[in-house]
Amino acid sequence: MTKILPFALIVMMILHVIKPLGWPGLKKRGDFWKIAAGAILAMFIVVLIGHAG
């Protein structure tokens, strides 16, 4: 599972560059970086929760 998620994110970024997903905040091709930023933020939150508890 830990190897599938990064692969899925990369695939989503490539697909978004080819044809924008049309999700809120992801309307233009140049917004592909927001997928990576969201993934990094999510990993940061998971690490914080893991170390706090």
Residue 28 in tokens = 């233009």
Q: At what angle do helices 4-18 and 33-52 cross, to 10 degrees?
A: 160
What DSSP line would sit under 12-28, residue for residue?
A: HHHHHHHS---BTTB-S
pLDDT range class, residue 37, cuts 50, 70, 90: very high
Instruction: Report if pTM > 0.75.
Output: no
Q: How confident is the model at residue 1, as a pLDDT?
A: 62
Across the range 9-37, mean pLDDT stands at: 89
Judge whether residue 15 has pLDDT over 70: yes
Domain segments of the chain as ranges: 4-52
Residue 17 in tokens = 């560059």
44 CB contacts (<8 Å, ≥6 apart)?
none
Cβ atoms of residues 15 and 23 within 8 Å: no
